Structure 1
């Protein structure tokens, strides 16, 4: 099954990369990148890499209820290791590697607790990224006649706001009545895969425990604030890349595009999201009526440049921590 999922991911990445590049001569892409502002592209790369220390800092208040205050350094190194593994290994092993690396540096953090905290991390990411995306769609400069999946901008923005509100309400219901969720999870798992009931219910209980951040106003706003700063920084990096290749769109386009990219990279793909990133970027920028060669050139240039620094840093920390490839594989399969 693991090999099958890996093969599907690589096949889908290859197909999407072919779809993205068809009709766009490679020499045309090279020409656009050669004429781009190299300094701005470098600055864009630096800003894009800065989101990872911000993600590490955001992790601290999430972990506080279950592990106390953790120093920034191990959080940062674990985050870098996780992103490197995501970029190099298949099957999205990066989140497992991030949690595993933290347990190596901070033994008081159990692996299951670390994994539960990452679920909360991603929940805040989703809420903030899509809230920003829907806000960008309400910008008067957003193409008025644009549609996505056959729906108008107004419909999508309204539905998105309601969805985000619904998710927050659901999270608070889980916090207030955790026993309901545990009972429901146990009943469902018992019917589907009873032999793994105890393990999966235990993970649900840990995830609910990680939601303790919602009970503490200070921690909640700390996590929310770091999440907003993280994704604003990422949007700035995208926009600087736009300017570097001569893409003339409003700043809100960067907030819209990062939402489209978040959806795109969620599908199965090769390590590093190659193919799905470029396809999602082309579709997202196409909403603004950009020439395909500009969109593809930005996507390839921005993706490759942002891929390198965090992958190198993560590899260095990976080696220093003494983590082995077999450790990552074993964690992923467990």
Structure 2
């Protein structure tokens, strides 16, 4: 029943978001708008997208420092396989596949690698919130009701960075607190929590020095400013030029939307986010939808193809990896034998 609900909920969210995005749309106008898109944006879009993921790989090497020294070439394959997995598989299982593959290739513990992805997502959230706040400041005047979102973003940045830095600088405090609380929990939960918290604080050790913290924040900000440039190109492909502030707001809303449960590939959240964020600024629903489709397809196709090529080149058994990823999600012990080739 739990698994059925986990599979059904993303479908319901996707349908609801698509209904919102398509409500009142003139399909004939949408079709003609899509066909009128400019092809010149494809080349710069792909170049920026490549830089986006190169920056992501660089940042991951920094987060992984407490576990070892790795190059972009070492981390990029598993990272791209994971993103491709999120595009085609349910329940965001691509993150677990990424963990399993990189742990196998690097010799790191799977729980440790998984916790670096938690750190990565936390840094992404900080970067997204900072970009959203920057966009709001540049615009000066926000649509009605958006000031609440700005206040939440500012509070989120302050809270999240405080928690991350404290966990990274004072790991023994959090571990000691867990030891005090865990006796009241089931033994399996207590043991698993101890393992993950230990690995998380180890991963957050990268934030123990101001220079590394600054580098990680700078890379996270750069990553989402590049995403804003991709949004701008998606709109420019349909003859729309908007201010940097608007595209930064779109990035913030889109990131929030794709965090909701959805079918693989984020169909629905991206469309709803573009419509929600762009129509208050006088952009038609049809143009917002067309730009969202270009943005989504421009990500989905190259990411999925790149991840698939990396996966095939390594001759992994898909069934074995899915089985080990499922075991990781359940927190069970995972055999360390080689993948079947």
Name the CA shift for 1:189/1:46 in 2 (closer, same or farther; >3 Å).
farther
Asked if the contact 2:131/2:221 (under 8 Å) is kept, the reply is no
Aligned-pair distance for 1:313? 0.6
1:330 equivalent to 2:327? Answer no
Aligned-pair distance for 1:223? 1.8
Alignment match of 1:181 (pick from 158, 174, 178): 174
SS of 1:103's partner is helix
SS of 1:23's partner is coil
Aligned-pair distance for 1:291? 1.2
Aligned-pair distance for 1:329? 4.2
Out of 13-22 and 52-61, give the one that drifted further. 13-22
Q: Which residue of 1 aligns with 2:75?
A: 75
Aligned ranges for residues 1-334 of structure 1 at < 5 Å? 1-67=2-68, 69-107=69-107, 109-139=108-138, 141=139, 144=141, 146-148=143-145, 152-153=146-147, 155-186=148-179, 190-191=183-184, 193-326=186-319, 327-332=321-326, 333-334=329-330
5+ residue gaps, structure 2: 331-341
Higher relative contact order (CA 8 A, sep 6+): 1
Instruction: State the alpha-carbon separation in 2 of the partners of residues 257 and 329 from structure 1.
Output: 37
Asked if the contact 1:103/1:110 (under 8 Å) is kept, the reply is yes
Instruction: State the alpha-carbon separation in 2 of the partners of residues 267 and 193 from structure 1.
Output: 29
* CA RMSD across the alignment: 2.0
Aligned residues: 326
Aligned-pair distance for 1:287? 3.0
Instruction: State the alpha-carbon separation in 2 of the partners of residues 217 and 283 from structure 1.
Output: 38
Q: Deviations over 1:10-30 (max 9, x none)?
A: 222123223312321333222
Asked if the contact 1:41/1:302 (under 8 Å) is kept, the reply is no
Stretches (4+) displaced over 6 A? none
Name the CA shift for 1:31/1:193 in 2 (closer, same or farther; >3 Å).
farther
5+ residue gaps, structure 1: none
Name the CA shift for 1:188/1:322 in 2 (closer, same or farther; >3 Å).
farther
Instruction: State the alpha-carbon separation in 2 of the partners of residues 8 and 167 from structure 1.
Output: 27
Q: Report the TM-score, using the length of structure 2 for normalisation.
A: 0.88
